Structure 1
């Protein structure tokens, strides 16, 4: 992935940051999605509602648990990387 530098007026940047935040994306991801949508002539994806975000987070957190603790504590870096 390549980096691109763009110039814009301060007012435009402020509005861009607000719109990216509303969509729950970084400015970089928001701009990339807009450009991709423009190139592919499709509408940008609608932002997830707060309820949908919470449901997705709950699905992730309720997933399978991994027992990595050793004697009631988390393993040290050396213990994690031992072979």
Structure 2
């Protein structure tokens, strides 16, 4: 977890304090939640998008000409 110092106009600071208090959060947690909603966790979105692309792709047919799936020994070259 990293710390960040932010300089705000006094009016904005006061509104931030009141908004955080209404939600029962510290100002730090409130701002963190705002940022998560605004920019989101990039890696999670990228991972989810990659998984969706993979799952949307064509299925791999692993069966032989008789419709049989490979045995475990065949998969692991035993």
Q: Deviation of residue 22 (structure 1)?
A: 0.1
The equivalent of 2:2 in structure 1 is 2
Considering Cα pairs closer than 8 Å and 6+ residues apart, tell me whether 1 or 2 has the greater RCO.
1
Once the two structures are superposed, what CA deviation does each residue of 1:37-67 show, in whole Å capped at 9, x if it has no partner?
Answer: 0013xxxxxxxxxxxxxxxxxxxxxxxxxxx
The equivalent of 1:19 in structure 2 is 19
Which of structures 1 and 2 has the bigger CA Rg? 2
What secondary structure does 1:21 align onto? Answer: helix
Q: Structure 2 unaligned runs (5+)?
A: 41-78
- Could you state the TM-score of these two structures normalised by the residue count of structure 2? 0.50
Distance in 2, matches of 1:22 and 1:33, equals 14
The equivalent of 1:32 in structure 2 is 32
The equivalent of 1:44 in structure 2 is none
Q: CA RMSD in A?
A: 1.5
